[in-house]
Chains A and B, each alone.
Chain A
């Protein structure tokens, strides 16, 4: 197993390098760079030209994108994410706490999405074709179709303006509730569809009939015999959705003023602050790769028939 994990981590490296290369290329193709943007309209043309030249040399912007890429990669390998062009602070200081904030939001949404999605999926599967099933799946369809930013505004309106359960501007842990609900409930929609179809399939299996023949109660049949078998499909979709959540969180963070990576990413792109942009992309991609690895390892725990040691 540890050999498998080591091999997977090695395979992840070229993926991350590839992502960095692509973002660097995009960076190189955009005509305006950070330094241009920084001095625009603030100094006289001559002074600006001089300042720009100095700054460019400092950040290696006068070299070819390929050289820049090599320098950047070398720094990353030494654990140095560089400093922000805009604030001159080390990138790690800018991004560290924001990364934790985004992970916090993503995890909270994932838990909400998984619990709500799996439970509605089970009910819909168990009461297949009943009004409960149809209602749950119709709401789910809305959830899949609704853009996150719109749903976020709806929740703000309902909970903060209409019911007044929460202030519009919130502090502390309460500020997590609405953004996590927004992302989590949208997340629940695809999860419930997968959970439903997995459960319907599992409930038709012989071992479920055998469990009933043993005299197991319906609750035991569903939660102890059927659900562990149905979770495989659910875990797959949850792993894939982590990417969506990281991306979806960007928009939600802006709407709810949640100081996460997404909010920073939007600003960094406006400023052409490419050291920050790169660091955000790197951490997002790294997280996604690790989550996928975690999902694959989770499979072996959920289903004893899956064994990577031979491969």
Chain B
């Protein structure tokens, strides 16, 4: 078994706002192996993006990482100095964002924004860096790369802008790329192209990918392994086929059940009842219990005791009492 490239343990990132404390990420455990594509899925507000930003140490105030460890390539990222962390960003861990058009600097030529990496991080001269930038633009499928390198971001389409972001992110051949909803802002036809490009470029460079998304279709297409997040925690981790064939957590089953099937004779879209709980209160029991259709009984362990992470096989982990045979049997006897 190879050592994981990234391992997050008990990560807690809280926001200390005027309205009080929000536990956006509250005990996340995750691992990413070298060369692997991990899909990080969940509803809006479940803490996916904050988890991703925590790895980059780019959580803005009033947010702060208050606990846990993030180990990357045998280093503890949380103990690095600010300038050491800046060295890691871009060169070893890169990130691309949901809104590609506003993530590019509007007053800087596109080619310059790529070339900058080679100039500032690798000490290349202008001409060589510019040449590299044009090569990268070609590699991410931008037509007429010499001309487009001289363009400004507002002259690009959304899809082109995200291709440029990918070129920037992979310019220094990082070991890990975090893509936060990279296709959400794009047209459906462009989404598939950008996803294919992302997977292809990462495989070519041997770069691991964390794909943050709310779209299980995207995950099925690209990911090797999936982590499902709910209310600031990972509730299930599994290889992608296993997750789609036999989801263990009731929340995962709910998510999969709510994917609309084209042509299916369903009277209406299926949803998980209720809303994601606000993350400001202190929770007792399982965070999903109130919305869970399978919870053991009213007043049961599900509502009084937080479930631990239960290993169900290689690479398969679930945070649910139902996954613990002993607990489940005991509860059924009581019911």
On A, residues with C-beta under 8 Å from B are 205-207, 209-218, 220, 225, 228-229, 302-305
**Whole-angstrom distance between the Cβ of A189 and the nearest chain B Cβ:** 26
Instruction: Using A213-B94, A229-B105 as known contacts, say yes or no to A305 and B168 having CB atoms under 8 A apart.
Output: no
Q: Which 9 A-B pairs have the closest CB atoms?
A: A215-B90, A215-B89, A210-B103, A214-B90, A304-B152, A213-B95, A206-B102, A207-B105, A206-B103
- Per DSSP, are chain A's interface residues mostly helix, strand or loop, or mixed? helix
Closest B residue to A217 by beta carbon equals B86
Q: How many Å from the CB of B106 to the closest CB on chain A?
A: 6
Confirm or deny: B189 has a beta carbon within 8 angstroms of a beta carbon on chain A: no
- A213 contacts B107, C-beta separation under 8 Å: no
Is the pair B97, A206 in contact by a Cβ cutoff of 8 Å? yes
Q: In the complex the two chains form, is B121's CB within 8 Å of A215's CB? A: yes
Contacts A213-B95, A214-B168, A215-B91; is A225 near B105 (CB within 8 Å)?
yes
Binding site for A on B (CB under 8 A): 56, 58, 60, 82-83, 86-91, 94-95, 97, 99, 102-108, 116-117, 120-121, 152, 154, 165, 168-169, 172
Q: Does the CB pair B86–A304 fall under 8 Å?
A: no
A47 nearest CB across to chain B (Å): 71
Q: Do B107 and A229 have beta carbons less than 8 Å apart?
A: yes
Closest residue of chain A to B98, judged by CB? A206
Complex Cα distance A50/B152, Å? 73
Q: Are B154 and A207 in contact (CB under 8 A)?
A: no
What are some 14 contacts across the A-B interface (CB < 8 A)? A210-B97, A212-B86, A213-B94, A213-B169, A214-B90, A214-B116, A215-B89, A215-B90, A215-B117, A216-B86, A216-B120, A218-B82, A304-B106, A305-B152
Which residues of chain A come closer than 8 Å to B120, judged between CB atoms? 216-217, 220
Contact A206–B99 (Cβ < 8 Å): yes
Q: How far is the CA of A21 from the CA of B11 in the complex (A)?
A: 73
Query: Quick one: closest B residue to A220, CB to CB?
Result: B120
Output the nearest chain B residue to A211 by Cβ-Cβ distance.
B105
Q: Which residues of B contact A305 (CB under 8 A)?
A: 106, 152, 154
The interface residues of chain A lying within 8 Å CB-to-CB of B90 are: 213-216
Q: Does A205 contact B102, Cβ atoms closer than 8 Å?
A: yes
Given contacts A206-B97, A207-B106, A215-B91, 16 further A-B contacts (CB under 8 A): A206-B103, A209-B58, A209-B60, A210-B95, A210-B105, A211-B105, A212-B89, A214-B94, A214-B117, A215-B172, A216-B120, A225-B108, A229-B106, A302-B107, A304-B152, A305-B154
Complex: A111 Cα to B152 Cα, angstroms: 30
A206 to B105, CA, bound (A): 9
In the complex, chain A residues whose CB is within 8 Å of the CB of B165: 210
B86 touches A213 (CB 8 A): no
